[in-house]
Structure 1
Amino acid sequence: MSHPQIELKEITFNYHEDDKKALDNVSLSINPGEWVALIGHNGSGKSTLAKTINGLIRPTAGEILINGEKLTEENLWDMRKMIGMVFQNPDNQFVGSTVEDDVAFGLENQGIPREEMLVRVKDALERVRMSEFTLREPSMLSGGQKQRVAIAGVVALRPDVIILDEATSMLDPEGRAEVIQTIKKIKDESNLTVISITHDIDEAAFANRVLVMNSGQLVAQGTPEEIFSGNRELVEQGLDIPFPEKLKAALEDREIEVPQEYLTEERLVEWLWTSGLKK
């Protein structure tokens, strides 16, 4: 019988004993090859949840299972090899004097043979379109370039799961789209599981499933269509909605009839092109 790749059972966490719970009885499961987007306002518990999955913090209560096996102190390091994490600030992850040294660092720690290491570093940098910066010092890169190198460092480790903790937040829209398409390509090629913690609702729309956090609790989950079509509830929680839904709402305010189903940007453009915007 197959297990969810990641399963959280009634997870609770307090940073300090007297504080409000950062996570409050959260249960969820994530299947192999799934792309799950975790959204919510600042302080909703998104990043805390991700850190429990990667074993960076231990829940106050509840348990975490990775591939059906309970996460414990004894197996923590083996479990972490399965889960790569890219943080919001790439400077926190840099240790090498050059881009290629930095991408190779994690591989060296895992004892990967040099011949294979060279192949993985080259492949990872090509995937994030940073090959021409191989010998550049990471500190001399732009914010967006640094983030791509950080992603390459995780991709080179070839984990089963990648957690993106606001990993595209320092990129411009073009760079963000490029990196997300890169992650999608890697995911599809390797049946990678992706957990994306993001404020970028358009990025979340790429996911197979969206989880909504509020005050440490999981308050909603579903496909992007299911979550973003109920946009009034999201707005009440202080969250954004995807651009196509914003445009549909603006058109409705002008008494223009619009499709009721959720539309991606591509489907919105197609509808605009064929509708003639007739009332």
Structure 2
Amino acid sequence: MDPIIELKNITFKYDPEDARPALNDVSLSIQKGEWVAIIGHNGSGKSTLAKTINGLLLPQAGTVKVGNLALNEENIWEIRKMVGMVFQNPDNQFVGSTVEDDVAFGMENQGIPREDMLTRVQNALEQVKMTDFKTREPARLSGGQKQRVAIAGVVALSPEIIILDEATSMLDPEGREEVIATIQKIKEQNDLTVLSITHDIDEAANASRVLVMREGQLIDEGTPEKIFSAGPKLIELGLDLPFPEKLKAALKARGVDVPATYLTEEGMVDWLWTSVLKK
């Protein structure tokens, strides 16, 4: 099966005089239906990489294909219809005076008939559990609610791919959980491909595959289990560790024999219950 996203030897500089490219000969592919997280320290190139996928930035070298279409002037608008982006600050995405107006805005730009638009707005708000807020002003919502509205605006456009560009970084833990749960549900309902650009290791743990960026290069990739089991290496890259790995390290320091393999939070609870608390 052909990948839904394919980058080959991408190089990008914000300034031709820069000594180091923001992206340096990056190649990767993402299959339809995957949830891929891209992690890395500030300035590693992960957000730049996301912006090359829908043509917000055009690489100076290499090729980008989305849905078997090459990224070029002829195809750029078709590709942008396939890719929806949710950014860090939802306030920067709001243009409507009410939640339902805001969700409808992108469809108005695409000339979607009003009857279809009303149905899509309702369906999108139902998917993010924001129907009861449709006549509210976006500015009066909580951070998590705002991001759910921003996601509804993207979902209403029926993209094949959603890119989350640090979409949970400004939220409190409860808001992050809300947004991640919403994306998981929408992904399954709509058979979407999700690309998550994140500093949040716990968010990345929900992905089926994790890509690690450093200084504009892709330096590692694998399942969350593979990537997060190399704890000290993540710390060297300026990244955090998932909570279960932190807990394992603390228990090991107290002389507790802990599993060598990576555990999710649910797996850690099961292990604590069966192997530690029952002793």
TM bin, normalised by shorter chain, reads over 0.9
CA distance in 1, matches of 2:129, 2:170: 16
1:28-87 per-residue CA deviation (whole Å, 9 max, x = no partner) reads: 000000000010011100100000001001001111011222110111011100000011
**Which consecutive residues of structure 1, in runs of 5 or more, have no partner in the other structure?**
none
Please name the residue that 1:213 is paired with: 213
The aligned amino acid for 1:53 is: I
Distance 2:130 2:186 in 1: 15
C-alpha contact (below 8 Å) 2:144/2:179 kept by paired residues: no
Give unpaired runs (5+ residues) of structure 2.
none
How many residues matched? Answer: 278
Displacement of 1:138 = 1.7
**Counterpart-to-counterpart distance in 1, 2:170 and 2:42:** 17
Residue 258 of structure 2 aligns with which residue?
258
Q: Which amino acid in the other structure matches residue 25 of structure 1?
A: D
Task: Select between 226-235 and 171-180 the one with higher mean Cα deviation.
Answer: 171-180
Superposition pairs of residues 13-52 of structure 1, within 5 angstroms = 13-19=12-18, 20-52=20-52
| 1:7 matched to 2:6 | yes
What residue is the counterpart of 2:240 in the other structure? 240
The within-5 A match list for 1:187-206 is: 187-206=187-206
Measured in 1, the distance between the counterparts of 2:75 and 2:272 equals 54
Q: Which moved more, 1:138-147 or 1:100-109?
A: 138-147
Q: Secondary structure at the match of 1:226?
A: helix
**Aligned match of 1:178:** 178
Q: CA deviation at 1:129?
A: 2.0
Q: 1:234–1:240: 8 Å Cα contact kept in structure 2?
A: yes
Deviates more, 1:142-151 or 1:163-172: 142-151
Q: TM-score normalized by structure 1?
A: 0.96
* C-alpha contact 2:69 2:75 (8 A) present in aligned 1: no
Structure 2 residue aligned with 1:101:
101
Map of 2:67 onto structure 1: 67
- Distance between the aligned counterparts of 2:169 and 2:256, measured in 1? 34
For normalisation by structure 2, the TM-score amounts to 0.96
> Relative to structure 2, which stretch is displaced further, 138-147 or 267-276?
138-147
How much has 1:178 moved relative to structure 2? 2.0
Corresponding residue for 1:141?
A: 141
Contact 1:144–1:170 (CA under 8 A) maintained in structure 2: no
Q: Distance between the aligned counterparts of 1:53 and 1:259, measured in 2?
A: 39
For residue 277 of structure 1, report the CA deviation from its aligned partner: 5.8
User: What code does the residue aligned with 1:156 have?
Assistant: A
Q: Considering only aligned residues, what root-mean-square deviation do their CA atoms show, in Å?
A: 1.4
Structure 1 stretches of 4+ with a deviation exceeding 4 A read none
Q: State the shift of 1:23 in Å.
A: 0.4
Matching residue's letter, 1:174: E
CA distance in 2, matches of 1:68, 1:78: 11
- Which amino acid in 1 is paired with 2:9? E
Which sits farther off after the overlay, 4-13 or 124-133?
124-133
Whether contact under 8 Å (1:257, 1:278) holds in the other structure is: no
Determine what percentage of the aligned residue pairs are the same residue: 71
Distance (whole Å) between structure 1 residues aligned to residue 78 and residue 254 of structure 2: 57
Alpha-carbon displacement from aligned partner over 1:137-162 (angstroms, at most 9, x marks no partner): 22232333222211110011110000
